[in-house]
A and B are shown apart, each in its own frame.
Chain A
C-alpha cells in the first residue's frame, strides 16, 4: 500500500498515512485530486478506480470515506478486507465508532492503524492481538500520566 486517506463527505481530511516518501506539496496535491475524484463517484459505482499509475480502493462507512492506494500487482479485493478490518478495530476500540471519535482521538486512530499495518503491509491478522497491544499501550500511557500528575500534586501539596 502506498497511502491511506480518510475524509468526510465534505472533503475534509481526517486521517492520512503515507507509506512512500513524498514532499508536503505533493501530498497536498494528491490528496486534493483524489478526494475530488472519489467524491465525484456515484453511489452505485464499484469500489475500484484507476488513478495515475495506481489502483485506488475506496469504501464509504457512514460519513467517512476510507481510501487506499495500492500498486498494480496488489489484490484489490483483499485491500477491501484490509479496510474493513481497520474499521472493525476502530469499532471495537471506540465502541460503535463514528467520525467524531476519530476527529477527537486521532492519535489513537493512528496508533491502531500502526498496530495493524506497518510499512504498508499487514503485520497482524488477529484482531485480538491488535486490540491487546493497544490496550497495553493505553495502560502504559495512563501510568505515565498518573506518575507525572501525582508528582505535580505532591509538589503543590508541599
Chain B
C-alpha cells in the first residue's frame, strides 16, 4: 500500500530521492497479486517511471501482460508504452506479446495493444515491417466495430467506440504509408467508414477526420482521395467552428499534393475569410493564397482585396504581402498588376514589405506604355492621401520621372485631367513639409522636385527656392542632397539636363545593384589617394553615370560632386589596376671603387611581363665628391634598351644624395639577360672609366 500516496497524481514532481525509494516497494506491489495495488503501482510507473525503474521492472510488467484480469492487463500494456518511450531497447521485450493480445475482445486491452503497436512501429522500421502482417486483422476488427449495432457501453452518439476506431485508423495510416499492398487491403474499409459514419455529432466527425487523414497519407485510389477532399469540403460548411478549423488545416496540408481537388472548394474557402474567429480567418487566408492560379487570379484578387480592407490588423501584413506575391506570379497584364499594387498600397500601405516600393518602381519603369497612366493614377492617389509612406515614395518617384507626361494631360485610359505645374510642385512641397513623411520619403520628394526642374516648362525659381531652403535642413541626408542640387543649379547648370535624364531600367537583382553602387561610390571618393579597386574601369565609369542620373532606390546616394567632374573621370581612367604584388627581386651591388658604389634594383611590372625596369643607384661614401658621372649600358641584340635621364651627375662626398637612373629593358622572348655597364666620372681630381659586365644577374629579371 506504500504506493497509494505516490500513486495519486497530485504528487507535484518526481524528485530523484523519491524515485529511488519506490522501486523496491513498486516491485513488491507489482508481484503481490492484489489487483488494486498492482493497478496503482502501474499507474505510478507509467506516470513518473524513470529509465532505471523501467529497466528494472520490465520483467514484472511483462508478466502482468499475460494475467487473466483485464483490469491489470490494460494498465500493464499502457505502462509498457511508457517504458518503451523511456527505454527504446525494451521494444524487444514487449513486441512478442502484441500479436496475441490483438485477439482479445476487451476494448480496453485492444486499445492498449494498438497503442503499443503504434509506438513500436513509430520507433523501429523492423517492427513496422513485422506488424504489416496484422493489417488484415486490424481491418477485420474495425469492420466489426463499424457494422455492429449500438452498444450502450462503448458507443458515443451512435458511433461504436470512437476512441478505438480512431486509434485503429491511426495505426493503419502508419502501416499503409508507402506500402502498396497494405494500402490496397484497407481501401474498401476506409471507403466504408467514410461513407457510413454518422456525422451529426462530434464523435462521428472525429472518426471521419481520422479516416480522411489516413486516406490522404497512404497509397489510396484516386476516387478515394477525391472522396476525402470532398469530406473536408463538407466540413467547411459545418456549423461547428472546430470542424471548420480542422478542415482548413487539413486542406492547407493537401493543397500542394491534390491541388485540383482542393480547387473545387475554392468558393467555400473564400467564404471562410469572413470568419470572426481570427485563427480560422488566418487559415482561410493562407489557403486562399495557396489556391490562386492563373485562371482564377482576377476573381481571387478581388476577394482578397476586399478582405484586406476589412481584416483584423494582425493579418494585414500577411494579406498584403500574399496579394503582392500572387500578383507578381500570375498578373494577366501589366496594367492590372500596377492597379493591384496601387490598391494594396492605398489600403494597407503601412504593412507592406520594404521591397514593395522598389518592385513597383521597377515594374512601372519597365512598362513604357503605362508611364502616363501610372503617373496620373499615382498623382491622384497622392493628392488624396499623403500619409501612406510606400505610396508616397512611389508617387513622388513617378512624378519626378514622368512629370512631363503628367502635365501633357492626355491619357487614354483614364479621364483627362488638367494638372497645373504649380499644383504638382505644391503637392511635392506638401510631402516634403509634412510631419508624417519619413526621411526617406522626403528624399524622394526632393529628388523628384529636382527632376521636374528639367521636365517642366516654366522657370525653376520655385524649385530653386525649395532646394535652397533645405540646404540647412537638420536631416543630414536631405541637407546633402539639397546642397548638391543647389550646386547643380548654380555651377553646373549646363550639365543639369543630362544628369537628370530619365533613368535607365535598374537591374532587378537588388543586392547586386547595391554592391555595384557601393563600389562605384568608393571609387568616386577621390579626395584621398584611395587604393585602386580591382574592377575594370569601364564599368566604374558607367556606374558613375548611372548614379548621376538620379536616385531610384533608397540604397543609392548621389556621390559628392567633385569640383571638376571632368578631371575626376580622367583620374578614374588613370588608376592602374592593382595586381597582386610579385615577389620582389633582390637588389644587386655591381660596382665598388674607393667608396663609390653602384647598385641595381629590378622591377618586373606584372601587366607587362616583357618589361624590366632597372634603377641604378650611385652612392658615394668617400671623402671626395663624384662629378660628371655618366653611366652607359649595353644589352644583347634581342633585347631593347631605353635609358632615361639620370637624376643628376654629381654625388656629394660622405653619403650625399645618390644619383638614380632608370633603364627600361624590353625582353619579349625572355632571352637571358646580359648587361654591360660603362661608367665615367671624376673622383679625387682623377677621371675614372670603368667597363664591366654585370655578373650574377638574378634569374627573375628575365625569365
Contacts and interface: CB of A to CB of B under 8 A. Distances in A.
Given A77-B205, A125-B107, A133 B242 contact: no
A129 B109 CA distance: 12
A75 to B, nearest CB: 5
A49 B278 CA distance: 11
Nearest to A108: B8
Interface in A38-96: 44-50, 73, 75-78, 80-82, 84-85
Nearest to B81: A119
Interface in A118-144: 118-119, 121-129, 133, 136-137, 140
B210 A121 contact: no
B56 to A, nearest CB: 17
A21 interface: yes
Interface stretch (B158-166, B498-506, B680-688): B158-166
Contacts of B163: 78, 81-82, 122, 125
Interface residues of B, number: 54
Contact of A119 (B46, B167, B280): B46
A118 B75 contact: yes
A78 B162 contact: yes
B156 A81 contact: yes
A32 interface: no
B14 A21 contact: yes
Contacts of B13: 23-24, 27
Nearest to B207: A78
Interface string B103-122: 00001100110010000000
Interface string B227-255: 00000000000000111111000000000
B371 interface: no
Given A75-B166, A81-B206, A122-B163, A127 B81 contact: no
A110 interface: yes
B200 to A, nearest CB: 14
B36 interface: yes
A48 B245 contact: yes
A19 interface: yes
Output the residue of A81, A84, A140 with the most chain B CB within 10 A. Answer: A81
B336 interface: no
Nearest to A73: B170
Contacts of A133: 39, 71
A58 to B, nearest CB: 11
Contacts of A140: 36
Contacts of A118: 42-43, 46, 75, 78-79
Contact of A121 (B7, B112, B153, B242): B112
B369 interface: no
Interface residues of A, number: 45
Contacts of A107: 8, 10
B584 interface: no
Contacts of A46: 241-242, 244-245, 277, 279-280
B47 A19 contact: yes
Contacts of B8: 107, 110-111, 114
A87 to B, nearest CB: 13
Contacts of B702: none
Nearest to A47: B242
A17 interface: yes
Given A45-B279, A129-B108, A80 B242 contact: yes
A121 B46 CA distance: 10
Contact of B210 (A75, A85, A110): A75
Interface string B1-35: 00000011110111000000000000000000000
Nearest to A132: B71
B71 A125 contact: no
B210 A78 contact: yes
B108 A137 contact: no
B3 to A, nearest CB: 12
Contacts of A21: 14, 48
A77 B243 contact: yes
Nearest to A111: B8
Contact of B246 (A77, A111, A121): A77
Given A46-B241, A77-B242, A118-B79, A126 B108 contact: yes
B209 interface: yes
B112 A78 contact: no
A5 interface: no
The 5 closest A-B pairs by CB, nearest first: A77-B206, A119-B46, A118-B78, A119-B82, A46-B241
20 contacts: A21-B48, A45-B279, A47-B242, A48-B245, A48-B279, A73-B170, A75-B209, A76-B245, A78-B163, A78-B166, A78-B206, A80-B206, A81-B162, A85-B156, A122-B111, A122-B167, A125-B108, A125-B161, A129-B108, A133-B39
